[in-house]
Amino acid sequence: MSETIKTLELVDNTVIADRDISVNGTIDAIDVNQVDGAIMTVESDSDGEYLGQVTIYPQNLELAIEDPKVITSVSRGGDLNYTTDARFDHIRRKIWIADTGNQRVIKLDRDTYATDLILNDFIYYPHSIVVNFNIGGVFVKGYTNLSQTENVIYYLKRSGEEIANFVFDTDDSASSSSSSSESVDSSSSSSGEYSDSESSSSSSSGVIILPDVPSSRSMAFDYVRSRLWWIDGSKVYLLDVRSSQIKTFDLASEGLNSGLTVDIDLSTGNAFIVIKDNLSQWFIAQMNRDNNKYLGRIGVV
Q: 21: pLDDT confidence band, cut at 50, 70 and 90? A: low
Q: CA-based angle 101:103:107, to the nearest 5? A: 105
- Assess whether 21 and 71 both reside in one domain: yes
- Could you count the other beta carbons within 10 Å of the beta carbon of residue 132? 22
Q: Which of 182, 150, 151 is nearest to 164 (CA)?
A: 182
CB 271 within 8 A of CB 290: no
The predicted structure's pLDDT at residue 254: 94
- Assess whether 17 and 159 both reside in one domain: yes
- Has residue 133 got a pLDDT over 70? yes
Look up residue 110 and give its amino acid.
R
- Assess whether 26 and 93 both reside in one domain: yes
Q: 203: pLDDT confidence band, cut at 50, 70 and 90? A: very low
Q: Please write the tens of the pLDDT for every residue from 211-243.
A: 778 888 999 999 999 999 999 999 999 999 999
- Assess whether 164 and 240 both reside in one domain: no
Q: Say which CATH number the domain at 140 has.
A: 2.40.10.500
Where among 145, 163, 194 does a domain terminate? Answer: 194
Between these two residues, 180 and 295, which has the higher pLDDT value? Answer: 295
The predicted structure's pLDDT at residue 182: 44
Q: Is 201 domain-assigned? A: no
Q: Is 208 domain-assigned? A: no
Q: Please write the tens of the pLDDT for every residue from 78-87.
A: 999 999 999 9
Q: Is 104 domain-assigned? A: yes
Residues 6+ apart with CB under 8 A from 176: 164, 165, 166, 167, 239, 244, 246
- Assess whether 22 and 126 both reside in one domain: yes
Report the Cα–Cα distance between both ends of the chain, in Å, rounded: 16
Q: Please write the tens of the pLDDT for every residue from 173-190.
A: 566 665 543 444 433 333
- Assess whether 186 and 301 both reside in one domain: no
- Has residue 249 got a pLDDT over 70? yes
Q: Say which CATH number the domain at 255 has.
A: 2.40.10.480
The burial class, CB within 10 Å (0-12 / 13-18 / 19+), for 299 is exposed
The predicted structure's pLDDT at residue 247: 93
Q: Is 207 domain-assigned? A: no
The predicted structure's pLDDT at residue 85: 96
- Assess whether 183 and 55 both reside in one domain: yes
The predicted structure's pLDDT at residue 84: 93
Q: Is 199 domain-assigned? A: no
Between these two residues, 78 and 44, which has the higher pLDDT value? Answer: 78
Percentage above 90 pLDDT, the chain: 58
Give the structural domain span for 157. Answer: 1-194
- Could you count the other beta carbons within 10 Å of the beta carbon of residue 241? 24
Enter the DSSP assignment of 289.
T
- Assess whether 145 and 34 both reside in one domain: yes
Q: Is 200 domain-assigned? A: no
The predicted structure's pLDDT at residue 163: 94
- Assess whether 48 and 146 both reside in one domain: yes
The predicted structure's pLDDT at residue 193: 36
Q: How many domains does the chain have?
A: 2
Instruction: Note if the pTM is more than 0.85.
Output: no
Q: Quote the CA–CA distance of 68 and 25 in Å, as a whole number.
A: 18
Q: Calculate Rg over the CA atoms of the chain.
A: 19
Assign residue 48 a region (left: φ > 0; alpha: ψ between -120 and 50; beta: otherwise). Answer: left
- Assess whether 35 and 167 both reside in one domain: yes
